[in-house]
Amino acid sequence: MTNEIAIHIKDLHKSYNGFTAVQSLNFTVRKGEIFSLLGPNGAGKSTTISMLSCLLAPTSGDALLLGHSISKTPRAVKEVIGVVPQEIAVYDDLSARQNLIFWGRMYGLKGKQLARRVDEVLDLVALTDRQHDRAGHYSGGMQRRLNIGIALLHEPQIVIMDEPTVGIDPQSRRKILDGVKELNARGVTVLYTTHYMEEAQELSHRIAIMDHGRIIGEGTHSELIRIVGGLIRISLTLRQSPGNLIEMWRALASVHSVSEENGAISLLVKDSTSILPVVFESTARAGISVTGMDVQEPDLEAVFLHLTGKALRD
Amino acid sequence: MRIIYLATKDLKQILQQKKSALFLLIMPLLFTWLMGIIFNQNENHDPRLPVGLVVLDDGVLGPHLRTLLNDSDTIRPLTPDQTDTAFIEEQVHSRLLAAVVVVPNGFSAMALDGTMPQLEVIVDRNTPAGQAADRSIQLASTRLLGAVQVARLSAAAAGHSESDAAWQAFVLSALDEAIQAWLNPRAKVVVRPAGIAASAPKGGTQASSGMMVFFATVGMITPGYILLSERHSRTLARMMTTSMTRAEVIAGHVLAMFIVCLVQVVLLTIFGQFIIGVHYWHAPGLTLLMASALAFWSASFGLLISSLARDENQVVLLVLGSTLVFGLLGGTFFPLELTNQSFATIGHMMPSAWAVDGLQDIVLRGSGLISILPTVGILLFYSTAACGAAILLLRRSLKN
Ligand SMILES: Nc1ncnc2c1ncn2[C@@H]1O[C@H](COP(=O)(O)OP(=O)(O)O)[C@@H](O)[C@H]1O
Ligand SMILES: [Mg+2]
């Protein structure tokens, strides 16, 4: 990694008829970095990606990718980036190989170079064995891998990936995450979006947490964890409705925050050993049974909870 | 170059669809054949208005009048079953006959003597058919009496007097000549108002050219699917993350549709030429020009439909719906020449009407490049309008 800047986002805004999807976005990604945008659905990640890929014009602000402005020189930007869209944008009725050859041509590759890159990419996304089968017959994971492979054909210096692991099995996800690391090891800068904190944590050199179109926290994993200080997260599942227990716990001095979503309760606390007996005693007294409990060291989930007062996952 | 790769990819996908063969070749061939049969059955039918001719005169002018009436494009003479006035009036009243002409007793003798006898015409002048029949009867009557005048004048010029024995023979032969002159004029002026043509295209030509134009747009169903699925799968948007420009992307898709239609039309003209006997290829350059104009119109139409439709069913509905409107109004099923003026005017607002006209101009009327160009121009105009509308609609999928 160097200190040279690969992506420089300057006060980017996007609104749709009065609804602001992205606002006051400012961050930089260094060359050779994996940078993740972590946020729940609707946070504005895809809108940001669309603007960076020059598919969507920003309402205001600009971004520079390797020095090329998305608003002034979009063609130069497109030359240096590879975009993996959130949707699986491949041709179902063509084979993986036909898809790669076609997209390679759209990226301007030809002849021997095209054939070499198609083989390399098939290898990288582990589809060599099934390269002649129709993409429509692939599993979700294979389609996702093809979707990624297409964006790598022209050996872009920056790869932008929008939730590339949504809805696939753990094995395929493993392959994809390893692939991203391998790509990065070859010097490619990666801008990665996800709503899975484990992915952001495992892959990224730096992470920006996004919610409601804004970045609410940014830094390395350990920098972000420091935001929550020594707070520990307790997750509880109750059989009955918690009623006024939540208000009661919130009032306790060593409890930092409490949130409830779909029956799952999260408490951020300074010291779990003193709080846990209180929690059990109060549930017992209210006649509520605890069906699940988990105590976690500080993680990004806790950071998100701390910053927004709600859980990252729904 | 990338435009060609894009078009090639589209063509591959279009050919992979089984429906393509159905819409592009099987249905048009079947329909051309069926329509050809329907039109050929009507071939023996005389479309002219029936006019009763009652000859109460035993002179020479009765047969001559029949000949002149029969020469008309509008009416055909026939002999009514009965000759009493009540029966004839009833036939006209109930519109079984457009009119009845009665040649009164002594008509020929009076005319040859130099007086101007009148034909009796029973007609309802309040109906368009009555008016048309009346005009044609008047024309025949004027020609007949004119021919008599000419015959009398030439007899006088030849020094015959009416009392001569030879006069009668001379006048009769001069009369024959004058009538023949009407039937085979040295120069013929044909005035053809819009929508009413002297000769409507015959069965094979109408079926072949009409169905060719009809199926040129029907054939856009599978190419329409392909572009629609590009919008839905977001591959169209993905294309815009490469350095392809919006114009290149649209040009690639239009090119594929253009090639599909051009190949279809060329195959159908070959079928028309060799199986039905329509002479498309007597002027290959012109036929190719018209085929290209038609293919460009179809491609633009296909682009518009696939940018409008929300799903595959809508592609089919929009293509078939608008093609039926173009087809029924625009003369792909029956010649606009057989329709009345206002129908023909409306029909010519349809691009299909111009495409059919262009093809038939080449095949039937031997038109040259100069007379084809306006038709080509009008098709280009429709194509450009459709493309423009499609590009506006596609901007959403092709943000740049
Ligand atoms: N074309 C659009 N018109 C109106 N609102 C939109 C449009 N696209 C996205 N949005 C809204 O913008 C917000 C951010 O969406 P998105 O960027 O897709 O979020 P994410 O990718 O983080 O899930 C959402 O509330 C979404 O409903
Ligand atoms: Mg998204």
**Region B227-250: what's the mean pLDDT?**
92
- CB-ligand 1 contact for A23 (6 Å cutoff): no
pLDDT at B47: 64
Mean pLDDT of the region B380-386 = 96
Closest Cα in chain A to B244? A106
Q: Give the integer Cα–Cα distance in Å for B18 and B26.
A: 11
What's the CA gap between A162 and A173, in Å, rounded? Answer: 14
Contacts of A91 in chain B (CB under 8 A): 9, 13, 233, 235
- Residue A240 DSSP SS3: coil
CATH superfamily of A231-297: Protein-tyrosine phosphatase receptor IA-2 ectodomain (3.30.70.2470)
Which residue has the least CA distance to atom 2 on ligand 1? A16
Decide if A193 contacts A37 (C-beta within 8 A): yes
Q: Which two tokens stand for residue B130?
A: 């009555």
More confident residue, A312 or A54: A54
**Could you read off the pLDDT of B254-284 as tens digits, one per residue?**
999 999 999 999 999 999 888 888 888 888 9
What domains sit in chain B, N to C, each tagged with a CATH number? 2-43+196-399 (no CATH), 46-183 (3.40.190)
Scanning the structure block, which residue is given the tokens 């943000």?
B399
User: Pick the residue with more confidence: A113 or B35?
Assistant: A113
Q: Residue range A57-76: average pLDDT?
A: 95
Per-residue confidence band for A135, with pLDDT thresholds at 50, 70 and 90: very high
Would the pLDDT of B366 be above 80? no
- Dmax (CA) of chain A: 76
Query: Which residues in chain B have Cβ-Cβ distances shorter than 8 Å to A88?
Result: 233
Mutate to test the interface with A, among B235, B248, B395 (most CBs of A within 10 A): B235
Ligand 1, residue A49: give the atom nearest the CA.
Answer: 17
Decide if A217 contacts A209 (C-beta within 8 A).
yes
**CA–centroid distance, residue A48 to ligand 2 (Å):** 9
Nearest CA of chain B to the CA of A179: how many Å? Answer: 21
Q: Which residue out of A106, A134, A161, A163 would a mutagenesis test of the B interface target, given it has the greatest number of B Cβ atoms within 10 Å?
A: A106
Which residues of A are less than 8 Å from B396 in CB distance?
Answer: none
Q: Whose CA is nearest to atom 25 of ligand 1?
A: A42
Q: Which residue's CA lies nearest to atom 7 of ligand 1?
A: A16
Kindly determine whether residue B235 and residue A91, on different chains, have CB atoms separated by under 8 Å. yes
Q: Is B193 a residue whose pLDDT tops 50? A: no
Residue A38 reports pLDDT greater than 60 = yes
Report the gap between the CA of A292 and the closest CA in chain B (Å): 41
Contacts of A98 in chain B (CB under 8 A): 12
**Average pLDDT for A25-54:** 95
Is residue A313 predicted with pLDDT exceeding 70? Answer: no
ipTM of this model? Answer: 0.82
Ligand nearest to the CA of A43: 1
The alpha-carbon gap from A220 to the nearest alpha carbon of chain B, in Å, equals 29
Q: Which CATH number fits domain A30-44+74-225: 3.40.50.1820, 3.20.20.70, 3.40.50.1360, 3.40.50.300?
A: 3.40.50.300
The domain spans of chain A are 30-44+74-225, 231-297
Distance CA A138, CA A215 (A): 36
